[in-house]
């Protein structure tokens, strides 16, 4: 037997175990995933953003009103783009914002975006003028950043997420420069290289690539296939990505988050499939010409003074950020 949960279905046994198990954490995630996160009325199967894209955008939006200064990341468009689809999620962050699971969601979503865009800005200063967002989700860089008009920006994601996002950008009168292009594809099946070249990316010149919130959802074989495509880009191209570490690297807070979220995710359409140590992710990237130039936990991924805070935000131990470059000497 299955029950409706967060825009999808889970088995009854999972539903009951989540409901009972989360009494210890005030049913936060169960409620958040299974009742708050419903798709807007009238949205069709072919016109749906992914659940994780919605969650990440809501976390970035909520950060600006739930948490104090200094901000980890300023996504000033996330709430506007989400519209009514994000209202309940953001409200829930505001009401229950101190809960460690929601804290972890806001930290991960904001830290990875800040890390990626800081590395991108440095790459632009070195002359890179192409930006590829793999699994772009509801990222607002193309409409928000002053850099977007100086770059060719290509966003890659599943058709449902891409179409919903573009619809919401237009509906909310958000100006998107014509330097931003979109490529619809299924990353588990389709060639990234071919689609982004069709969208206008020049593979003979270096490209800065971000792949945020994606690697944990891919099998090893799928990761190798995507990275093999990215390795076809010009030497000097750069990649920033986040990944999950295995259980022995996690603290108790991270384990709470993993147990809570993966219980639902694994029974839905977006299960977590992979973890890596820093050596493991370096080997994975190295097998596709990428050499790691930086690998940080969340605390080290942003300036230290950002953790001098009076609110609930603390860095987690589940996620690490890696920055790699292709075609360079080790």
Instruction: Label each residue of the chain as H, E or C.
Output: CEEEECCEEEEHHHHHHHHHHHHHHCCHHHHHHHHHCCCCCCCCHHHCCCHHHHHHHHHHHHHHHHCCCCCCCCCCCHHHHHCHHHHHHHHHHHHHCCCHHHHHHHHHHHHHHHHHHHHHHHHHHCCCCEEEEECCCCCCHHHHCCCHHHCEEEEEECHHHHHHHHHHHHHCCCCCCCCEEEEECCCCCCCHHHHHHHCCCCCCCCCEEEECCCHHHCCHHHHHHHHHHHCCCCCCCEEEEEEECCHHHCCHHHHHHHHHHHHHHCCCCCCCCCCCCHHHHHHHHHCCCEEEEEEEEHHHHCCHHHHCCCCCCCCCCCEEEEEEEECCCC
Please tell me the predicted confidence (pLDDT) of residue 139: 98
Kindly give the confidence (pLDDT) of every residue in the chain, 330 residues in length, as a single tens digit, with 9 standing for 90 and above.
Answer: 443 444 444 444 554 454 444 444 445 554 555 544 555 444 454 578 888 899 899 999 999 999 999 999 999 999 999 999 889 889 989 998 998 889 999 999 999 999 999 999 999 999 999 999 999 999 999 999 999 999 999 999 999 999 999 999 999 999 999 999 999 999 988 999 999 999 999 999 999 999 999 999 999 999 999 999 999 999 999 999 999 999 999 998 898 888 877 765 555 556 889 999 999 999 999 999 999 999 999 999 999 999 999 999 999 999 999 999 998 655
Please tell me the predicted confidence (pLDDT) of residue 263: 64
Domains of the chain and any CATH numbers: 34-326 (3.40.50.150)
Please tell me the predicted confidence (pLDDT) of residue 48: 81
């Amino acid at each position: 037997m299955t029950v409706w949960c967060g825009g999808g279905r889970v088995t009854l046994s999972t539903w009951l175990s989540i409901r009972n198990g989360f009494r210890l954490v005030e049913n936060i995630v169960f409620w958040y995933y299974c009742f708050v996160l419903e798709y807007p009325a009238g949205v069709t199967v072919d016109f749906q953003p992914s659940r994780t894209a919605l969650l990440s955008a809501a976390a970035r939006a909520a950060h600006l009103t739930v948490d104090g200064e200094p901000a980890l990341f300023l996504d000033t468009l996330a709430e506007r783009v989400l519209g009514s689809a994000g209202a309940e999620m953001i409200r829930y962050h505001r009401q229950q914002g101190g809960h460690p699971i929601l804290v972890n969601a806001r930290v991960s979503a904001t830290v990875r975006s800040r890390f990626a865009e800081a590395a991108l800005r440095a790459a632009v200063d070195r002359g890179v003028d192409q930006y590829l967002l793999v699994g772009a989700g509801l990222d607002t860089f193309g409409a928000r950043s002053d850099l977007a008009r100086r770059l060719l920006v290509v966003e890659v994601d599943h058709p449902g997420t891409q179409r919903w996002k573009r619809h919401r950008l237009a509906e909310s009168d958000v100006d998107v420069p014509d330097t931003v292009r979109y490529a619809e594809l299924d990353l588990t099946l389709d060639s990234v290289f071919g689609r982004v070249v069709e969208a206008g990316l020049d593979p003979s010149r270096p490209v800065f690539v971000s792949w945020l919130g994606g690697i944990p959802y891919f099998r090893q074989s799928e990761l190798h296939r995507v990275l093999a495509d990215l390795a076809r880009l010009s030497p000097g191209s750069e990649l920033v990505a986040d990944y999950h570490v295995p259980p022995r690297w996690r603290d108790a807070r991270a384990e709470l988050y993993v147990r809570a979220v993966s219980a639902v995710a694994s029974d839905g359409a977006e299960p977590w499939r992979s973890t890596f140590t820093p050596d493991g992710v370096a080997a994975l990237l190295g097998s596709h010409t990428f050499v790691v130039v930086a690998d940080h936990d969340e605390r080290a991924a942003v300036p230290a003074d950002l953790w001098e805070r009076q609110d609930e935000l603390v860095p987690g131990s589940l996620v690490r950020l890696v920055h790699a470059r292709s075609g360079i000497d080790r």
